[in-house]
Structure 1
Amino acid sequence: MKAVDVVQHSTTPLTSPAYAPTIPRFTDREYLNIVYRTDFDALRAVVPEPLEIDEPLVRFEVMRMGDVSGYGPYTEAGQAIPVRFGDEHGEYLHAMYLDNFPATASGREVSAYPKNVGTPRLSVDHGALVGTLDYGTLRVATATMGYKHHQLDPGAAREQIAVPTFMLKIIPGYDGRPRVAELVRTRITDVTVKEAWTGPARLQLFEHVLAPLADLPVREVVSASHVLTDLTLAPVTPVHDYLEVS
């Protein structure tokens, strides 16, 4: 293979890429969102500067992707933290666990999504919407919400999903030190809300050394939503270079 051909590839292995060279379109992406209050000190320990925290809140999410171009169906769960970057309010993506390797590799390499392996599930059980996350054979999160108790305004649901999102892009060099260390920003703008609901909810987090969601403990459930959407993820833009200021 000629050198000019090598640089036409976006990922390795060259002859069997880890993910498809396409911008994925999500059809019938289903969210279970539970916003809860946690400890300020716990958030300060994990949210990187220059992001700032106004309230000690976390959004636990389970997302079932029924149809994703390039990846196929998969499920994902994780934590997002409401933050402020200057005057702009958004969310910092703290952790994401999913059961699809192409989506994991693409999310980390092309963007900066903090994706890791896990087994999330989203289902309905006796009138409750249930989201779970297992790491290996152990349960690390269980979320329950009353199934379609009250309709949620589609505009409010869209605001939940389309807030600016901040992530860390860290790529090590061959000497072990960071070669890239950036804070990046993205925002979903191409989103259609098909259904939106709210209702009572509960969330349990269980301690696990390799999936430390419980390091942000649940003190109070603030709100919950169940949303069905179509959307396309937008590219990321660097907003802060840690290597330039270190």
Structure 2
Amino acid sequence: MRTEDVRQHLTTPLTSPAYAPVIPRFTDREYLNVVYRTDPEALRAVVPEPLRIAEPLVRFEVMKMGDVSGYGPYTEAGQAIPVGFEGEQGEYLHAMYLDNFPATASGREVSAYPKVLGSPSLTVDSGALVGTLDHGSLRVATATMGYKHHELDRDEARAQITVPTFMLKTIPGYDGAPRVQELVRTRITDVTVKQAWTGPARLQLFQHVLAPLADLPVMEVVSASHILTDLTLAGVEPVHDYLKGAAS
């Protein structure tokens, strides 16, 4: 294979890429969001500068995606933390667990999503919307919300899921030191909110060394939403270089 041909391949393995070279479009993406208050010291221990924390809040989310171009269906769960950066309000993606390897590899390599494999689910059980996350055979998170109790304003729902998103991109060099270490920014685009609901909710997190969601403990559930959308994920842009000015 000629050098110029090698340069056209942007994934590993070289001739059998782990994911398709597409901008994913999500149809009927279903969210369960539970916003809760947590320990501010625990937040400060995991949110990187120069991001700033205002209120000690976390959004636990479970997303069921039945139609995703390039990846196929999958479900994802994780934690997002409201932050500020240079006067802009957004969220820092702290943890993401999903059951689809192509989406995991693409999210980490092409962008900076903190994705690892897990087993999330989103179902309806006896009048409750139930979101769970398992790591191996162990349950590490359970969220429940009253199923379609109250309609949520669709503009408010759109605002919840389209805030700017910040992520930390780190690529190590062969000496173990970071070769790339950047704070990046993205956001969701082309959003159509089809349904939006709110209601009472509860959230339980369980201690697990490899899925440490409970390190941000639930002190009070603040709000919850159940949203059905179509949307597209935009690309990322670097906004802060941690290695700039560092000694080589």
**TM-score (structure 2 length as normaliser):** 0.98
Instruction: Give the SS at the match of 2:244.
Output: helix
Label 1:150 to 1:245 Cα distance change in 2 as closer, same or farther (>3 A): farther
Aligned to 1:11: 11
* 2:51 aligned partner, one-letter code: L
Aligned to 1:135: 135
* 1:235 aligned partner, one-letter code: G
* 2:66 aligned partner, one-letter code: G
Q: Provide, for residues 49-80 of structure 1, a one-character-per-residue CA deviation record: whole Å limited to 9, x for no partner.
A: 00000000000000000100000000000000
For residues 28 and 196 of structure 1, the distance between their equivalents in structure 2, rounded to whole angstroms, comes to 12
Aligned to 2:54: 54
Aligned to 1:212: 212
Question: Which stretch shows the higher mean deviation, 50-59 or 182-191?
Answer: 182-191
Aligned to 1:233: 233
* 1:220 aligned partner, one-letter code: E
For residues 159 and 129 of structure 2, the distance between their equivalents in structure 1, rounded to whole angstroms, comes to 22
Superposition pairs of residues 81-92 of structure 1, within 5 angstroms:
81-92=81-92
For residues 104 and 45 of structure 2, the distance between their equivalents in structure 1, rounded to whole angstroms, comes to 25
Instruction: Give the SS at the match of 1:160.
Output: helix
Instruction: Give the SS at the match of 2:106.
Output: helix
Aligned to 1:171: 171
Superposition pairs of residues 22-37 of structure 1, within 5 angstroms:
22-37=22-37
Shift of 1:136: 0.5
Shift of 1:189: 2.3
Shift of 1:120: 0.1
For residues 181 and 130 of structure 1, the distance between their equivalents in structure 2, rounded to whole angstroms, comes to 36
Aligned to 1:75: 75
For residues 14 and 22 of structure 1, the distance between their equivalents in structure 2, rounded to whole angstroms, comes to 17
Instruction: Give the SS at the match of 1:176.
Output: coil
Superposition pairs of residues 84-103 of structure 1, within 5 angstroms:
84-103=84-103
* 2:134 aligned partner, one-letter code: D
For residues 129 and 55 of structure 1, the distance between their equivalents in structure 2, rounded to whole angstroms, comes to 27
Q: Provide, for residues 187-220 of structure 1, a one-character-per-residue CA deviation record: whole Å limited to 9, x for no partner.
A: 1121110000000000000000000000000000
For residues 121 and 187 of structure 1, the distance between their equivalents in structure 2, rounded to whole angstroms, comes to 24
Instruction: Give the SS at the match of 1:169.
Output: strand
For residues 10 and 171 of structure 1, the distance between their equivalents in structure 2, rounded to whole angstroms, comes to 15
Instruction: Give the SS at the match of 1:189.
Output: strand
Which stretches of structure 1, 4 residues or more, deviate above 2 A after TM superposition?
none
Q: Taking every aligned residue pair, what percent have the same amino acid on both sides?
A: 83
For residues 168 and 35 of structure 2, the distance between their equivalents in structure 1, rounded to whole angstroms, comes to 22
- Pairwise CA RMSD: 0.6
Aligned to 1:149: 149
Shift of 1:140: 0.4
Label 1:245 to 1:94 Cα distance change in 2 as closer, same or farther (>3 A): farther
Shift of 1:245: 4.5
Shift of 1:104: 0.1
* 1:25 aligned partner, one-letter code: R
Q: How many residues align?
A: 246
For residues 24 and 89 of structure 2, the distance between their equivalents in structure 1, rounded to whole angstroms, comes to 26
For residues 191 and 245 of structure 1, the distance between their equivalents in structure 2, rounded to whole angstroms, comes to 39
Aligned to 1:162: 162
* 1:79 aligned partner, one-letter code: Q
Instruction: Give the SS at the match of 1:163.
Output: coil
Gaps in structure 2 of 5+ consecutive residues? none
For residues 104 and 207 of structure 1, the distance between their equivalents in structure 2, rounded to whole angstroms, comes to 23
Instruction: Give the SS at the match of 2:209.
Output: coil
Gaps in structure 1 of 5+ consecutive residues? none
Residue 186 (structure 2) pairs with residue 197 (structure 1): no
* 1:178 aligned partner, one-letter code: P
